C-alpha cells in the first residue's frame, strides 16, 4: 500500500494523465540523433572517463528545456559508446551547487537533482526502461509497461538492472554549501542482457537504432544550517522542478516515447564519421501519433471516437509521398493503419498507443 500511495503521489505531481492537458505544443518536435560507436577498449566505470575512446567520442548537443523552448540555466551533455556486453553513457552535468541526500535504492530519486535515462529498444512505446541516479550514485530503476497516459498503474518498481554499473566523480565538493562547484560526471554501463525479452536473446543492436532520451531534473534550493534543501514558495509548497532533456518532448511529460531521440549503434570505430538519418517510416509513425492524440483528446472531451475524415482534415505528405491511413474499429477499440510507400511495410498504431510494423 505504501508503494502504491507513493506512485499515486508521483503521478499526480509529475505526470499528465489527461490527454487534453498533455496535448503537444504547436511547435513541430524533431527528435535528436546520435551515433554511438563500438569500442574495443576496456571501459572502467569510475566516473573519470580516462579511456581514449571516451575522449574521441562526441558530446551530444546541449540539453534544452523539456518543452523545447527555453535554454537551461546550466549545461548538460552526454557521450555514448558500446561493446558486445554494455551500452555506455557518460554525462557531464554542470552545477555550482552539488548536493544530494537520498541514499536508499529505488527511492524517489528525482526529489534530488538527478540524471535520468529512458530506453525503448524496439520503439513500440511500450515496455520501456527508466533509470534515475543522483550525485551520491543512488539509483532508481523501473520497468514501465505502458506510458502513463494509458494507465496509472504501469510501473514495475521491483524490476532491477542486475548488472548495472555506475560511478560519479565530483568536480567540487558535494553537500558543501560554503563553496562553488563546477560539475559532476556520471558514467554508466547498462548490460544488454538486462534488456532481453527472451532467454539468451541476442539483443545487441549492431547497426540498429534504439529510441532513447535523457533527462536532468534540477531544483531551486535553500541553505538551512549549512545544508541544502529543495526551496519552498510562500505557500509552503516546493517550487516546481526544472526538466532539461537531450531530445525535447514538447510538453512537460517524459513519458511520450514516440518523441524520444534516436541512438544508432554503429559497428565502426569511434574515430569514424558515420551519419544517421531518421527512417522515413518513422516520419509516418510521427504523423500517426498526431492522429492518435487527436482521437484521445476527442474521447476525453466527448466520450466518442472520431471517424477518419474528422481525425484527418488535411492530406498527410511525408517526403513527397501521400500517406493514406485507414481507421479500423473493432469490439475492443480501433487500429490506425498505413502502408509505407517507402518500405511497403504495414504500420499499425493501436488504440492503447502501441506501435507495430510488419
Residue 8 confidence (pLDDT) above 90:
no
Q: Which of 258, 260, 229, 302 is nearest to 116 (CA)?
A: 260
Cα separation, 123 vs 130, whole angstroms: 14
| pLDDT value of residue 66 | 98
Pairing of strands 128-134, 114-120: antiparallel
Position with higher pLDDT, 21 vs 158: 158
Cα separation, 273 vs 271, whole angstroms: 7
Least confident of 2-16, 35-49, 68-82, 94-108: 2-16
Residue 198 confidence (pLDDT) above 70:
yes
Residue 202 confidence (pLDDT) above 50:
yes
- The residue-averaged pLDDT of 294-308 equals 94
| pLDDT value of residue 21 | 38
- The residue-averaged pLDDT of 224-247 equals 95
- The residue-averaged pLDDT of 306-326 equals 94
Cα separation, 123 vs 258, whole angstroms: 7
- H or E segment and range at residue 244: strand 242-245
- Measured from the Cβ of residue 293, the count of other Cβ atoms closer than 10 Å reads 19
Residue 20 confidence (pLDDT) above 60:
no
Residue 330 confidence (pLDDT) above 60:
yes
The gap between the terminal CA atoms of the chain, to the nearest Å, is 41
- The residue-averaged pLDDT of 248-262 equals 97
Residue 5 confidence (pLDDT) above 60:
no
Backbone angles phi, psi at 91, to 5 degrees: -120, 130
Q: Which of 95, 91, 90 is nearest to 74 (CA)?
A: 95
pLDDT (tens digit per residue) in 32-82: 999 999 999 999 999 999 999 999 999 999 999 999 999 999 999 999 999
Confidence tier at 26 by pLDDT (50, 70, 90): low
Give every CB contact of residue 127 below 8 A, 6+ residues apart in sequence.
120, 143, 144, 145, 197
Residue 265 confidence (pLDDT) above 90:
yes
Q: Across all residues in the chain, what is the average pLDDT?
A: 92
| pLDDT value of residue 348 | 98
| pLDDT value of residue 154 | 86
Q: What is the DSSP letter of 258?
A: G
Instruction: Provide the percentage of residues in the chain whose pLDDT is more than 90.
Output: 87
Backbone angles phi, psi at 257, to 5 degrees: -60, -25
Position with higher pLDDT, 314 vs 165: 165
Beta-bridge mates of residue 217: 114, 243
Amino acid at each position: 500500500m505504501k508503494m502504491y500511495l507513493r506512485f499515486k503521489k508521483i503521478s499526480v505531481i509529475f505526470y499528465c494523465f489527461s490527454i487534453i492537458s498533455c496535448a503537444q505544443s504547436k511547435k513541430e518536435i524533431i527528435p535528436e540523433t546520435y551515433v554511438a560507436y563500438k569500442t574495443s577498449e576496456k571501459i572502467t566505470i569510475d566516473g573519470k572517463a580516462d579511456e581514449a575512446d571516451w575522449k574521441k567520442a562526441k558530446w551530444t548537443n546541449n540539453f534544452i528545456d523539456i518543452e523545447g523552448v527555453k535554454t537551461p540555466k546550466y549545461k548538460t551533455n552526454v557521450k555514448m559508446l558500446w561493446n558486445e556486453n554494455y551500452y555506455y553513457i557518460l554525462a557531464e552535468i554542470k552545477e555550482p551547487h552539488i548536493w544530494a541526500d537520498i541514499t536508499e535504492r529505488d527511492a524517489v530519486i528525482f526529489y534530488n537533482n538527478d540524471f535520468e535515462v529512458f530506453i525503448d529498444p524496439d520503439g513500440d512505446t511500450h515496455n520501456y526502461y527508466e533509470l534515475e541516479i543522483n550525485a551520491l550514485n543512488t539509483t532508481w530503476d523501473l520497468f514501465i509497461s505502458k506510458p502513463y497516459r494509458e494507465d496509472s498503474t504501469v510501473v514495475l518498481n521491483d524490476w532491477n538492472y542486475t548488472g548495472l554499473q555506475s560511478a560519479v566523480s565530483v568536480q567540487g565538493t558535494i553537500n558543501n554549501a560554503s563553496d562553488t562547484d563546477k560539475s559532476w560526471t556520471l558514467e554508466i554501463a547498462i548490460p544488454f542482457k538486462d534488456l532481453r525479452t527472451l532467454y539468451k536473446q541476442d539483443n545487441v543492436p549492431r547497426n540498429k537504432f534504439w529510441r532513447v532520451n535523457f533527462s536532468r531534473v534540477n531544483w531551486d534550493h535553500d541553505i538551512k544550517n549549512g545544508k541544502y534543501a529543495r526551496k519552498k514558495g510562500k505557500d509552503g509548497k516546493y517550487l516546481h522542478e526544472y526538466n532539461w532533456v537531450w531530445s525535447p518532448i514538447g510538453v512537460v511529460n517524459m513519458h511520450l516515447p514516440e518523441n524520444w531521440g534516436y541512438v544508432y549503434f554503429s559497428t565502426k570505430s569511434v574515430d569514424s564519421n558515420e551519419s544517421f538519418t531518421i527512417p522515413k517510416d518513422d516520419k509516418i509513425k510521427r504523423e500517426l501519433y498526431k492522429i492518435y492524440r487527436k482521437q484521445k483528446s476527442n474521447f476525453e472531451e466527448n466520450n466518442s471516437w472520431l471517424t477518419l475524415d474528422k481525425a484527418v482534415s488535411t492530406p498527410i505528405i511525408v517526403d513527397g509521398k501521400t500517406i493514406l491511413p485507414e481507421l479500423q474499429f473493432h469490439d475492443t477499440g480501433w487500429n490506425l493503419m498505413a502502408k509505407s510507400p517507402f518500405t511497403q511495410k504495414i504500420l499499425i498504431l493501436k488504440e492503447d498507443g502501441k506501435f507495430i510494423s510488419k
